[in-house]
């Protein structure tokens, strides 16, 4: 038994090939080989560009600036001037920017007691028992005092302790900052493909200092200008400015970089797309001040406007080493540049005998 096992361990096996002259089998075999070869050459190399190396995670930088001036007039005939500091938040933004297009103002609010708004369901009442003391008004503006009072000739509401008078909820029929349609948005974007040590910006390299002050982006006639007219952006997103400006909305600005670094760098240009995300957008803000008797007041603003969300995506491709080192006509040159023979400054024996190298080895060991 042991002898047979030892003999089996020492056996050597080799494959035997049988040649058959069957044309159908031979044809099928060659077709399968051609199919595999066609997949590699056609799909992997040509369509999917498998011969290229890709960097699909660029580092990006976005800086935005809004420009434009508007004047609004209230019911009491007072006027207010709006510039970028007033209607853009933040005034010098990054990849998110909010533009005020409409607002509701409630001026000179002070902390005290006043009737709740009749538009608040939980604030409606017919007698004092409907207004329990200390209960906050659900979706309201303050705390119930226990009294049911007349808001106007037709409505009675709970008296509250809060900022009085309560917020005005009368929405203008037209956007108050209609001129914002002609405001401009400057977008400065830089992408850095660290894998290939390549960076590119979307601003045109020019010596004309007035270029960015006079140009406006157009996808066909001026695609290199990073200054966008707000009305054009809203229209490109499939909406009209007047409708969107009344109640606000959200627009996504997508910047796409698809760069083939085997081509001239001038062909590496961004592509812009604009998508309407939401048709309503608003928030509240207040400015606080004190009168001569140090009593606190505030002016409440409910701001409607357009929120711009700027996102940057992209990838860069370059011919990979496989092509450069084996298939390119300058393969020998690339081999010499890529691979360098590392030669020690001294032989091992000489290094051991050299006190300087011995000290270096001691420091490395430590």
**242, part of any domain:** yes
Residue 42 is predicted with a pLDDT of: 64
Residues 289 and 161 in one domain: no
Answer whether the bond into residue 165 is a cis peptide, omega within 30°: yes
d(CA 97, CA 238): 19
Residues 188 and 218 in one domain: yes
**270, part of any domain:** yes
Residue 273 is predicted with a pLDDT of: 95
CB neighbour burial string for 337-362, b if at least 16 within 10 angstroms, e if fewer: eeeeeeeeeeeeeeeeeeeebeeeee
The DSSP-derived string for 134-195 is TPBPTTSSEEEEEEEEESSSS-EEEEEEEEESPPP----SS-TTGGGGG-EEEEEEEEEETT
d(CA 348, CA 350): 6
The reply, when asked if residue 284 is annotated as ligand binding, is yes
Residues 210 and 73 in one domain: yes
Residue 55 is predicted with a pLDDT of: 73
Residue 66 is predicted with a pLDDT of: 87
pLDDT tens for 328-343 read 555 566 556 555 666 6
- What lies within 8 Å, CB to CB, of 365 at 6+ separation is none
Residues 136 and 186 in one domain: no
Residues 150 and 98 in one domain: no
The reply, when asked if residue 283 is annotated as ligand binding, is yes
Residues 90 and 190 in one domain: yes
Residues 233 and 313 in one domain: yes
Residue 338 is predicted with a pLDDT of: 56
How many domains are there within the chain? 2
Rounded to two decimals, what is the model's pTM?
Answer: 0.71
Residue 197 is predicted with a pLDDT of: 84
**177, part of any domain:** yes
Residues 308 and 230 in one domain: yes
- Any idea what DSSP says for residue 238? T
Residues 281 and 190 in one domain: yes
Sign of the dihedral defined by the CA atoms of residues 319, 325, 328, 333, in that order:
positive
Contact by Cβ (8 Å): 317, 54 = yes
Beta strands in 1-67 (DSSP E): 52-55, 59-67
The reply, when asked if residue 67 is annotated as ligand binding, is yes
Residue 37 is predicted with a pLDDT of: 74
Burial class (CB in 10 A: 0-12, 13-18, 19+), 178: middle
Contact by Cβ (8 Å): 339, 325 = no
The reply, when asked if residue 184 is annotated as ligand binding, is yes
Residues 99 and 237 in one domain: yes
Residues 100 and 143 in one domain: no
Question: Encoding tokens for residue 24?
Answer: 């159908």
pLDDT in tens, the chain (366 residues): 666 666 666 676 776 666 677 777 778 877 887 887 776 666 655 555 555 667 777 888 888 888 888 888 766 546 788 888 888 887 666 788 999 999 999 999 999 999 999 999 999 999 999 999 999 999 999 999 999 999 999 999 999 999 999 999 889 989 999 999 999 999 999 999 888 888 899 888 888 888 888 899 999 988 889 999 999 999 999 999 999 999 999 999 999 998 888 788 888 899 999 999 999 999 999 999 998 889 999 999 999 999 999 999 988 887 655 555 555 555 566 556 555 666 666 554 444 444 444 444 434 434
Site of tokens 């159908």: 24
d(CA 271, CA 253): 10
- Any idea what DSSP says for residue 117? P
**259, part of any domain:** yes
Q: What are phi and psi of 266, to 5 degrees?
A: -65, -20
Residues 187 and 241 in one domain: yes
**255, part of any domain:** yes
**129, part of any domain:** yes
Burial class (CB in 10 A: 0-12, 13-18, 19+), 186: middle
Contact by Cβ (8 Å): 123, 149 = no
d(CA 308, CA 15): 69
Answer whether the bond into residue 262 is a cis peptide, omega within 30°: no
d(CA 176, CA 169): 15
The reply, when asked if residue 336 is annotated as ligand binding, is no
Segments forming the whole domain that contains residue 289: 59-108+170-317
Question: Encoding tokens for residue 277?
Answer: 């995300």
**241, part of any domain:** yes
**42, part of any domain:** no
pLDDT tens for 353-364 read 444 444 444 344
């Amino acid at each position: 038994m042991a002898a047979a096992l030892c003999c089996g361990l020492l056996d050597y096996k080799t494959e035997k090939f049988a040649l058959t002259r069957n044309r159908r089998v031979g044809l099928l075999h060659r077709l399968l080989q051609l199919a595999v070869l066609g997949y590699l050459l056609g799909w992997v190399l040509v369509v999917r560009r498998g011969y290229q190396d890709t960097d699909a995670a660029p580092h990006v930088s976005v800086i935005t600036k809004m420009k434009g001036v508007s004047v609004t007039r209230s019911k009491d005939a007072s006027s207010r001037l709006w510039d970028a500091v007033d209607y853009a938040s933040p005034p010098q933004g990054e990849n998110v920017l909010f533009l005020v297009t409409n607002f509701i103002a409630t001026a000179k609010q002070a902390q005290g007691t006043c009737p709740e708004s009749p538009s608040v369901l939980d604030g409606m009442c017919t007698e004092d028992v409907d207004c329990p003391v200390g209960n906050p008004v659900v979706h309201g503006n303050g705390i119930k005092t226990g009294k049911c009072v007349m808001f106007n000739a037709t409505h009675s509401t709970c008296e509250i302790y809060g900022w009085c008078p309560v917020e005005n909820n009368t929405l203008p029929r037209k956007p108050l900052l209609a001129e914002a349609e002609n405001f401009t948005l400057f977008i400065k974007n830089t992408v850095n493909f660290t894998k290939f040590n390549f960076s590119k910006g979307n601003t045109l390299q020019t010596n004309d200092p007035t270029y960015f002050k006079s140009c406006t982006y157009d996808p066909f006639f001026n695609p290199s200008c990073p200054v966008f007219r707000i009305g054009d952006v809203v229209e490109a997103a499939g909406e009209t400015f007047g409708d969107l400006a009344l109640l606000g909305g959200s627009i996504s600005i997508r910047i796409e970089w698809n760069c083939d670094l085997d081509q001239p760098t001038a062909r590496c240009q961004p592509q812009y797309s604009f998508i309407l995300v939401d048709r309503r957008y608003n928030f509240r803000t207040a400015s606080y001040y004190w009168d001569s008797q140090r009593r606190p007041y505030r002016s409440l603003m409910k701001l409607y406007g357009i929120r711009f969300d700027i996102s940057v995506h992209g990838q860069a491709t370059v011919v990979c080493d496989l092509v450069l080192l084996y298939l390119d006509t300058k393969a020998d040159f690339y081999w010499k540049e890529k691979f360098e023979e590392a030669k020690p400054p001294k032989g091992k024996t000489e290094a051991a005998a050299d006190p300087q190298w011995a000290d270096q080895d001691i420091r490395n060991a430590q």
